[in-house]
Amino acid sequence: MNDLQSLERNVLLVDHRQAVVSPGWQLEQADAAGVRAHQELRRQAFVEAQGLFAGSDLDEADADDRTVVLVARGTRGEVLGGVRLAPVGADVGWWTGSRLVVAPDGPPGVGPALVAAACARAEQAGALRFDATVQDRYAGLFTRLGWQTVGPTLLAGRPHTAMTWPIGRLAALARATKSPLGGLLAGFQLGGAGFVGDDGAPVPGTDVVAACDAILPSMVERDPEWAGWCGVLVNVNDLSAMGAAPLGLLDSIGARDASFAARVVAGLRAGSQAWGVPVLGGHTQLGVPAALSVTALGRTDHPVPGSGGRPGQQVRLTADLGGGWRRGATGRQWDSTTGRTTAELQLMGSVVARTAPAAAKDVSMAGLVGTLGMLAEASGCGAVLDVAAVPRPDGATVGDWFTCFPGSAFLTTDDADRPVAPAGPATSATCGELVPGSGVRLRWPDGSTTPALTGPVTGLGASHPTEN
């Protein structure tokens, strides 16, 4: 091979002077005219050509205001194909795709592109389950696109294949935030007997519980006052999850100058006053990149472990559904606490202490499902979460609520006859149970379950409390 041929075949060389080749069509969400054009293509394909339906293939999904239709348009604006997707019943994060159709003379690639776009649109809508019923002859196409086969079924009396698109959002979050812990912390005697992976650590020989959290440097840089507030919030939550009453806080601040440090301190001061927990001291370093970590001390005679769960216990969520998304952090950080009074914050924060459940954790970085997975792992079992029973604010999709930092939210487990104590403005609900095995499965309104986490979250293993 000569040098010229080598250059021509070098994939790293791209001639940017050449225009990008357009496929001759583009995907978009259909307007009213696009919906009508999609329905006409459906009629021609499913009623006239295939005889799947008599007279019309229109159904209740076409009358649902939540239904989304995606279409491919040619260069002259003509609709070359389309697909629709919609939530199943009340929107609990379960969506289905249907009525995929391409014009008989449509260019190649339109069908797969519409399928891929539907998957992305469902996930954008917060779906954690996305299903489709596919004609058997097209099952191979869906498989090549990454779909998984559920099993055979019939539609309009014809053989079809039920398929599902694997949405890995929950597992990806748990993997990114918690999976390295087992290897990193090997050899430490964390928390003492009966405490593994807990939100705080009982200090041996005392009734003191210590907790420590660092705030993401990018968050400190972007929103220093909010970072200071959250430094108090997450540490008080950690103590509260173990049933401990907070005693005080220590902070460590890094800042480029005194003016920036003052903004972080303002957030810490506001949080300290809101929860009625004093800042006892700490350390400040100027002339360095933005950083914040806070240590909290609390007290309880009976710390509640995250490892006290057992198969058969019910899973309850107590969460403050007030407030809304933090500005600039939609889908990631729910702010319910800045609008609450000190009395309300303290009442919600004492719910674990007043309930005295078998196990408890506060919902934090790993999200609702990841946190439940950690509790189950430490307890040596698995968990099933009833998606429709989870308390959720109106302004959050299921996907966002199950993966965000929710402000003030606690998971507890116990026997069915042990209710959760009143938590003021927070909402409590039974939304699952602990089961033999490992990982977390989601249970849907039709009674079926899908895997969310297939195994341990942290790799720290199960705790085996000393029997009294």
Residue 23: pLDDT band (50, 70, 90) is confident
Write out the E strands in 300-426.
314-319, 324-325, 334-335, 359-362, 382-386, 409-414
Q: Is the dihedral of CA 447, 453, 456, 458 positive or negative?
A: negative
DSSP 467: P
Q: Is the dihedral of CA 311, 401, 175, 240 positive or negative?
A: negative
- pLDDT for 183: 82
Q: Is the pLDDT of residue 192 over 70?
A: no
Q: Is 129 helix (H, G, I), strand (E, B) or coil?
A: strand
Tens digit of each residue's pLDDT (9 = 90 or more) over 246-287: 999 999 999 999 999 999 999 999 999 999 999 999 999 999
- pLDDT for 21: 56
Tens digit of each residue's pLDDT (9 = 90 or more) over 423-460: 999 999 999 999 999 999 999 999 999 999 999 989 88
Range with the poorest average pLDDT among 190-204, 244-258, 287-301? 190-204
Residue 3: pLDDT band (50, 70, 90) is very low
Tens digit of each residue's pLDDT (9 = 90 or more) over 114-163: 999 999 999 999 999 999 999 999 999 999 999 999 999 988 888 999 99
Angle, helix 342-349 to helix 258-275, in steps of 10 degrees: 70
228 vs 418: CA distance, rounded Å = 36
Cβ(241)–Cβ(350) below 8 Å: no
- pLDDT for 159: 92
Tens digit of each residue's pLDDT (9 = 90 or more) over 45-78: 999 999 999 999 999 999 999 999 999 999 999 9
Q: Is the pLDDT of residue 4 over 50?
A: no
Q: Is 401 helix (H, G, I), strand (E, B) or coil?
A: helix
Q: Is the pLDDT of residue 6 over 50?
A: no
Q: Which two tokens stand for residue 190?
A: 């964390």
Q: Is the pLDDT of residue 10 over 80?
A: no
Cβ(361)–Cβ(457) below 8 Å: no
- pLDDT for 14: 45
Residue 196: pLDDT band (50, 70, 90) is confident
- pLDDT for 8: 39
**Number of residues written out for the chain:** 468
- pLDDT for 17: 54
Round the CA-based radius of gyration of the chain to a whole number and report it: 27
The count of other CB atoms within 10 Å of the CB of residue 71 is: 28
- pLDDT for 170: 96
Residue 7: pLDDT band (50, 70, 90) is very low
Q: Which helix (H) or strand (E) holds 173?
A: helix 169-177
Closest residue by Cα to residue 136 from 111, 100, 160: 160
Range with the poorest average pLDDT among 85-94, 107-116, 183-192, 345-354? 183-192
- pLDDT for 5: 42
Cβ(220)–Cβ(268) below 8 Å: no
Cβ(355)–Cβ(420) below 8 Å: yes
- pLDDT for 18: 58
312 vs 332: CA distance, rounded Å = 32
CA distances from 174 to 183, 323, 342, 392, 453 (A): 15, 25, 32, 20, 8
| Mean predicted lDDT score pLDDT of the chain | 92
22 vs 75: CA distance, rounded Å = 10
332 vs 397: CA distance, rounded Å = 11
Tens digit of each residue's pLDDT (9 = 90 or more) over 27-48: 999 999 999 999 999 999 999 9
What percent of the chain stands above pLDDT 90? 85
Q: Which two tokens stand for residue 237?
A: 């939550």
- pLDDT for 220: 97
Q: Is the pLDDT of residue 101 over 80?
A: yes
Q: Is the pLDDT of residue 103 over 80?
A: yes
